[in-house]
Amino acid sequence: MARRLLFVISWLLLFPPRSAAGASPLLVTVGEVTDTSAAVWGQGTNTGSLTVEARPEKGGERVTASTQPAPQRDFIGKLLLRGLEPATRYTYRLTHGKQEATGSFVTAPTPMRSRPVSFLWSGDLGGGGHCRHAQDGYRIFGAMESLKPDFFLFVGDTIYADHRCGGPDRVPGYDFVAATLEDFRKKHLYNRADPHVQAFFRATSVYPIWDDHEVRNDFSGSTEPLMAVGLQSFIESWPLIAQGEKPNRLYRSVRWGRLVELFILDTRQYRSDNHKPDGPDKTMLGPAQRQWLVDGVTRSDAVWKVVVSSVPLAIATGRGARDSWSSAGVSGSATRDGTGFSVERDAILRAFNARGVKNLLWLTADVHHAQVIRHEPWAGFSFHESIAGPLAARHWEVQPLDASLNSRSLFGLDNVENFGAVTIDTGGLTVRIIDAAGTTRFRHTIAPE
């Protein structure tokens, strides 16, 4: 009883009621930050202008934006702040009628500035039996907030649309399988409304990408009937900005100064059916995204190239057919008539090797355990893959690695909710695996080539 009372008090301190009618708190998420812009997502409770005002924490010019959220979109609005100063912490105030939310975020440095950067990544939030706890909520976000990262990479399974989750120890509202657009929206808003999530999202920015559970387990965009509504609800639920004439495009790159460029992949929308045998005509990325990735990474003049993939490179997943990049069997050995995407994976890596790519890091999730891996598929070409998660979902054990990548596991952690942290400066890149209590379980530093 005391713990539940403390949780309720914490909620009221974070989100005090704004009216006698007991309106829900104003939800906010900042994302897609560049060196001069940031997108703000907000949800109010009624008609009226949704307005954001931001200014540098240490003083400077105020920037504002406003929109009219529509009731048929659950009073959700997106605002774009332009003309921001690079490498600057901004504080903001989001208002909607009498409601108000405040927070802060950091803009990226200009491409030629070597400024240290720190960020987090993880995935898998709200899996069956692990949705919001009535007393503790998603407590892992408290440990994440304490690190004060520059941004957060949410690497897939931001909801579990295809899982039921309820019970007396869980916050109600998630115990159903999504089948309609309204169902998908409810799943996203349920996770977003958690007090720990909101406190974290008010303290930093986020770059999200989806994986399978935003729609259905192991789905392929080429065959999944619910992909359209799942994609629409995902785009609506995050501060994503339409890219030119392709409003549904999720893959994008983000430059964070001289030291790092991120390449965030969409591994679902364009993929071939998982059951199709692996081969040259099977794709996870689709031709356009694959070419974009190869060209972008090989042309990048950032010191570190970080590729963000919702599924791992060297761990075989999937039931009945492979769902990750690997076509290997469960033991890690090669199999005949594999159904993974290793032919495309190896072609991408071969292109990186041929073009002399150095300082390459892949960040992945999906497998519900943490791992740090060094791959050396060919002599003289090596890179690291780091896996994190789950944030709140069923735990899996560490699995054998795909032998075809000549991989070596440097660390593995299972049966623990966790996230990863990356810090980069001119001396190198450090990866940490951190548990829900905020304890660092592993640390590994890589010097730049």
Q: Which among 124, 92, 91, 99 is positioned nearest to 46, based on CA atoms? A: 99
Query: pLDDT for 130-186, tens place per residue?
Result: 999 999 999 999 999 999 999 999 999 999 999 999 999 999 999 999 999 999 999
Query: pLDDT for 411-422, tens place per residue?
Result: 999 999 999 999
Question: Residues 346-364: what's their mean pLDDT?
Answer: 98
Residue 307 above 50 pLDDT? Answer: yes
The domains of the chain, with CATH numbers, are 2-106 (2.60.40.380), 117-446 (3.60.21.70)
Report the distance separating Cα 261 and Cα 243, nearest Å: 18
Report the distance separating Cα 96 and Cα 52, nearest Å: 9
SS (H, E, C) 367-416: CCCEEEEEEEEECCEEEEEEECCCCECCCCCCCCCCHHHCEEEEEEECCC
> Which residue type does 104 have?
S
DSSP character at residue 194: -
What pLDDT shows up at residue 117?
A: 98
The SS3 of residue 102 is strand
Cβ neighbours around 139 below 10 Å, total: 17
Provide the mean pLDDT of the chain: 93
Percent of the chain with pLDDT over 70: 95
Token couple for 18: 């704004």
Residue 80 above 50 pLDDT? Answer: yes
What pLDDT shows up at residue 24?
A: 57
Q: Residue 368 — pLDDT band, cuts 50, 70, 90?
A: very high
Q: Which among 205, 37, 202, 28 is positioned nearest to 118, based on CA atoms? A: 205
Residue 438 above 80 pLDDT? Answer: yes
Report the greatest alpha carbon distance in the chain.
68
Token couple for 373: 């891996």
Report the distance separating Cα 138 and Cα 5, nearest Å: 16
Residue 4 above 90 pLDDT? Answer: no
